[in-house]
């Protein structure tokens, strides 16, 4: 069978039809894309770590003073991201200059039950969660951010 026979031409159309079919079922296509991209890999959390530690970070929608954005929009290749979900103005999660994480701030724009109590997270460059905290005391939150970014 060659590409110029009716059978060959029909085979060429099959992937296009399949893609349209998959794209029409949002939840299925999202799941298929996630499986193909490999984000299902999970690094086991250590003792005392937050339960989400080691999982792939979802592309959270964040409501910030400058408008709504997503977690991965401001991320930079090869750099971790420090996510501040306290909603406070200023730098509630200060960290050292090294490894110079990209900083994100705001509140969750949509409910995420597993993230309800999370106040800060350090996202690895590969998109997995390195550290999370539910700390609400500003001084303790700043100390947790310094510790997390120094260890990464």
- Find out whether 52 and 122 touch, Cβ atoms under 8 Å: no
- Write down the pLDDT at residue 102: 74
Non-local (6+) Cβ contacts of 91 within 8 A are 84, 103
- Higher pLDDT among residues 14 and 39, named by residue: 14
Q: What value does the mean pLDDT take over residues 58-73?
A: 85
- Higher pLDDT among residues 51 and 73, named by residue: 51
Q: Report yes or no on whether pTM surpasses 0.95.
A: no
Q: Where are the beta strands (DSSP E) in 72-148?
A: 81-84, 102-105, 107-108, 120-123, 129-133
Domains of the chain as residue ranges with CATH: 6-37 (no CATH), 61-151 (3.40.30.120)
Starting at the edge strand found earlier in the chain, the sheet holding 67-70 runs 67-70, 61-64, 107-108
Rounded-to-integer distance, Cα 99 and Cα 122, Å: 11
Q: What value does the mean pLDDT take over residues 9-17?
A: 67
- Higher pLDDT among residues 14 and 83, named by residue: 83
């Amino acid at each position: 069978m060659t590409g110029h026979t009716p059978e060959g031409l029909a085979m060429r159309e099959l992937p296009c039809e399949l893609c349209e079919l998959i794209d029409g079922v949002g939840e299925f296509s999202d799941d298929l894309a996630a499986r193909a991209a490999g984000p299902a890999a999970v690094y086991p959390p250590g003792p005392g770590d937050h339960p989400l530690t080691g999982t792939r970070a979802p592309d959270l929608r964040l409501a910030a003073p400058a408008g709504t954005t997503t977690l991965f929009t401001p991320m930079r290749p090869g750099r971790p991201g420090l996510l501040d979900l306290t909603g406070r103005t200023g730098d509630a999660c200060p960290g050292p200059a090294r490894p110079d994480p990209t900083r994100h701030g705001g509140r969750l724009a949509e409910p995420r039950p597993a993230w309800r109590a999370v106040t800060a997270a350090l996202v690895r460059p590969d998109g997995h969660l390195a550290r999370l905290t539910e700390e609400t005391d500003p001084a303790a939150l700043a100390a947790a951010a310094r510790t997390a970014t120094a260890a990464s």
